[in-house]
Structure 1
Amino acid sequence: MGPEWVAILALVALFVMGTLLPINMGALAYVAAWLVGMFSLDLSEREILGGVSGDLILTLIGVTYLFAIAKNNGTVDLIVRSAVRAVGGRVALIPWVMFAVTALLTAIGAASPAACAIIGPIALGFAGRYKINPLMMGMFVVHGAQGGGFSPISIYGTITNSVMEENNLPSSELTVFLASLVVNLVMAAILFVLLGGRRLMEQRIDPDDPADDHLTEDLHRGGATVPARGYGTSVPTGTTQALGVRRDQVLTLVAFVGVALVSLIFDKNIGFVSITAAVVLATLAPKEHKDAVRQIAWPTVLLVAGVSTYAAVLTEAGSPEFVGNWAAGLGAAVIGALVLCYVGGVVSAFASSTALLPVIIPIAVPLIGNGGISAGLFVAALAIASTIVDVSPFSTNGALMLANRPDSITEPVYYKQILTYSMIVVLVGPMLVWAALVLPGW
């Protein structure tokens, strides 16, 4: 049995075990990476460990550390109230605002993980306060990132269009972009209907109404006792009501803006930038934030570190190319296109979509040349199938949503919800995209 098959079977085994048993799948993935790498690929342990995505791990740590501090000093609570005021208290609009803002960020050139890292924690803060389904809110952010992710000036769009040009395929920039935007909008609309969006349409919230404070526990921790605005009484530490903006909250808001500007405009690693901002804030108030580091999503860090390590081993074994070349060799081009869409979806659910796109598009060239398939629509189908699965908790975007879950849901429950949804997307998404874009032979 070749190493490509060994790697595929090991992937299936660790996925089944991680689903059926209460074991962190990251730990299982490390074991699989070690065994497959050592005994099937003859890799050294250093080479196996070289596959872990340090960039992703640092992003998870830095972002969750920064937002732990923001929760502690009440800044997230302040942002939530301000944004609800901006939409006139219409709770049903909040998920769509999060979708639109994330899509705009990726459309103008922000990396998808960076956009999700900036918007995700804030969006999930809304979910916790206003009883919005956390799965819907988190997936709205991810789908928003993918919806804008293929604009001609975005990272995904630039990669896809340059690969098409290198392989002498006709340019279809707007086709790929609009197809991705429409597909992700449709998926968001389905989630909105199925996960309680219609109920939200009946809700109106006054963010300044003290009666709404029962929806959340206050996020401020530490500091002196302060009078609650409008009541003239003291509120014990840990239950600060709706107060004016404090100095530490202003500094945290400045840190948020700084992180966004430095990471998006100057193209710096958002993990480094976030953890730097968090350390600066912690230095200014060391006693208040001494326990913030404990709120970093360490189980999610283990999950993503293990899975990204195994994804590198899977790639080293040549499994994606093996399946892709087999699909390209099938007699029916349309069926081969479907298989390639599934290859893109399954592999990308565990690995980097950015790294996958330059690999899978060239594999599809023979199908486009010999099968009479539209290059633009087929590439759009491949691109969408390879990115809509970023809702997976093993991908960067899905992991960021898991790491920033609201307190209204436990981590095991939220993990299972995201995992279930991502499995549905992986199983059904590539086929639906293929059926809409490739099968009709437009």
Structure 2
Amino acid sequence: MPTALLSIGVLAAVLVVATIRPVNMGVLGLVAAFVVGSLVGGESPDEVLAAFPAELFVVLVGVTYLFAIARANGTVQWIVEATFRLAGGRTSAIPWVFFLLSTAICGIGALPPAVGAILMPIAMSFAATHGIRPLLVSILVGLGSTAGSFAPTGLLGIIVRGVQVDNGLATDPLVLFGSTFVIGTAVAVATYVLLARRQTPAPDGPGAATAPPATAKLNLQQGLTLLGFVVLTVGALVFGLDIGFLALTVAAALALAFPAASRTAVKEVSWDIILLMAGILTFVGVLQRNGTIGWLGATVTAVDAPLIAAFLICLIGAVVSAFASTTGILGAVIPLSVPLIATGEIGAIGFVAALAISSSLVDVSPFSTGGAIAMANAPEPERPAIYRGLLRFSAAMAIVGPLLSWSVLIAPGWL
């Protein structure tokens, strides 16, 4: 028990320090793995690194490298322009265009902060020009990320499935995607209904918008990049090919065929996220070997109400994720929840989906990367109002997300 309590204390310290200081949580995770595994548990460096997620490393590198190439060669910009045509000249449709863009781009492997960096400046420009509330478009961009990121080809979907497999949990990528998409969309609809009523009339007339720019024709490189995304999706979902090596293969083929546009793509790979996951999962491996997970299992099985425990875990995940990395929270909490799932009263698929929803609906918190990007790109006079609005929204989602996902996905026991 003393080692288990020490390990949990170190994990809590990692989460707290990474929240209040600008230090990558993965770096702290690797240090914690060394301290607890080597200095406390007497493990060798090779034993400490036994749980280093090599397969997940390949997946993350492959998917983010492919997306970096797509951004560099203009494919992402083409997708943005093509989707804007869906607005059909109606201001009321513009927030939903941003929602769909965010969903689609996250669904093909982009990280939510990257999507925010791409879309938020455009969204705020449209909002200012056409009398749309900046708060509304910023929230819908964030919710679109939630709706798309857990797709089977989305980065968070890939990460969650990898953590489930590594911990022997049942997986269903389509249920994970379907539940996060449906609930994310439902929250977006409710947000739109509440906020759209308060919009300022568009300067060029009710509901009118300047026609979006004509979408340029796809060039050969962009067409092949889109084909690469199709190959990635079909290969992974239909033929069961390893998505990491498949993404690397597609990216390497594009880099060989078009080296100029791919030259800087490696620098844009999400190395910070890769380091974060590698560090956290390596530390979780130490916790598994030193008996912390087993001790938690004994503690959880002594609780008479596993359903209440599951709700509290989702609630904690939501609150912490509003200040810290959603990716890191999922990577740390899912393994620690294995004993709870082992009681047999909580379904693994439903619980993980509920935790994913709870942890991601708060991602537009003003203390998160997405919220910070939104405020940075908003008109200066609007920033205090956007800060208050994002704070209220994320506080509400920290309660609504766990309650809604728990009620739908955990309590009925159908997953």
Query: TM class, shorter-chain normalised?
Result: 0.5 to 0.7
The answer to whether the 8 Å contact 2:307/2:411 transfers is: no
Name the structure 2 match of 1:265: 238
Matched, 1:391 2:360: yes
- The alpha carbon displacement at 1:27 in A equals 0.8
Q: Secondary structure at the match of 2:51?
A: coil
SS for the counterpart of 2:12 is helix
Contact kept in structure 2, 1:341 and 1:385, CA below 8 Å: no
Q: Tell me if structure 2 keeps the 8 A contact 1:4–1:318.
A: yes
Contact 1:37 1:43 in 2 (8 A): yes
Q: 1 CA distance for matches of 2:79 and 2:336?
A: 36
CA contact (8 A) 2:147 2:182 kept: no
Q: CA deviation at 1:66?
A: 1.7
- 1:208 corresponds in structure 2 to 213
C-alpha displacement of 1:362: 2.7
Q: CA RMSD in A?
A: 5.1
Shift of 1:269: 2.4
Name the CA distance, whole Å, in 1 between partners of 2:72 and 2:176. Answer: 42
Contact residue 66 and residue 274 of structure 1 kept, 8 A: yes
Residue aligned with 1:117, SS? coil
**2:90 aligned with 1:97:** no
- CA shift for structure 1 position 28: 0.9
Judge conservation of contact 1:324–1:339 (CA < 8 Å) in 2. Answer: no
Q: What TM-score results when the alignment is normalised by the length of structure 2?
A: 0.65
Distance 1:146 1:204 in 2: 32
Which structure has the greater CA radius of gyration?
1
8 Å Cα contact 1:57/1:301 also seen in 2: yes
Distance in 1 (alpha carbons) for counterparts of 2:150 and 2:399: 18
User: How many aligned positions are there?
Assistant: 352
Q: Is 1:252 paired with 2:225?
A: yes
Give the match for residue 286 of structure 2: 313
Conserved 8 A contact 2:314-2:358: no
Q: Assess if the C-alpha contact under 8 Å between 1:388 and 1:425 holds in 2.
A: no
Equivalent residues of 1:146, 1:184 under 8 A apart? no
Partner of 2:130: none
The one-character-per-residue Cα deviations of 1:262-310 (angstroms, maximum 9, x if unpaired) are 2222222222222221211111222342222112222222222212222
Q: How does 1:72-221 map to 2 (within 5 A)?
A: 72-88=72-88, 90-97=93-100, 115=107, 117=109, 125-131=118-124, 136-144=140-148, 183-189=183-189, 204=209, 206-208=211-213
Asked if 1:280 is matched to 2:253, the reply is yes
Judged with a 3 Å threshold, the aligned counterparts in structure 2 of structure 1 residues 288 and 101 are, in CA distance, closer, same or farther, namely closer
> Which amino acid in 1 is paired with 2:241?
K
After superposition, residues 298-377 of structure 1 pair within 5 angstroms as 298-331=271-304, 333=305, 336-343=306-313, 349-351=329-331, 360-365=340-345
Q: Which amino acid aligns with 2:123?
A: Y
Deviation sequence 1:352-392 (CA, Å, 0-9, x none): 88877875333244xxxxxxxxx7xx878734433325539
- The percentage of counterpart residues that share the same residue type is 26
Query: Closer, same or farther in 2 for the Cα pair 1:251/1:429, shift >3 Å?
Result: closer
- Partners of 2:149 and 2:210 in 1: how far apart? 27
Structure 1 residue 65 displacement after superposition = 1.8
Task: Report the alpha carbon displacement of residue 14 of structure 1 after superposing the two structures with TM.
Answer: 1.1
Find the counterpart in structure 2 of residue 51 from structure 1. Answer: 51
- Counterpart amino acid of 1:387? A
- Equivalent residue for 1:39? 39
Instruction: Give the Cα–Cα distance (whole angstroms) in 1 for the partners of residues 329 and 396 of structure 2.
Output: 12
CA–CA distance in 2 between the matches of 1:28 and 1:124?
Answer: 26
Structure whose residues are more often helix by fraction: 2
Gaps spanning 5+ residues in structure 2: where? 125-133, 154-159, 318-327, 364-368, 378-389
Cα displacement string for residues 340-362 of structure 1 (whole angstroms, at most 9, x for unaligned residues): 34347768934288877875333
- Alpha-carbon distance, 1:30 to partner: 0.7
- 1:382 aligns with 351
Question: Which residue of structure 2 lines up, in the alignment, with residue 16 of structure 1?
Answer: 16
Q: What's the CA shift string for 1:301-333, capped at 9, x where partnerless?
A: 2222212222222333444453354243235x3
Which amino acid is the alignment partner of residue 382 of structure 1?
Answer: F
Letter in structure 2 aligned against 1:208: P
Q: Is the 2:37–2:286 contact (alpha carbons within 8 Å) kept by the matching residues of 1?
A: yes
- Give unmatched runs, 5+ long, in structure 1: 103-112, 150-154, 166-174, 210-241, 366-374, 395-400, 410-417
> Deviation of residue 256 (structure 1)?
2.0
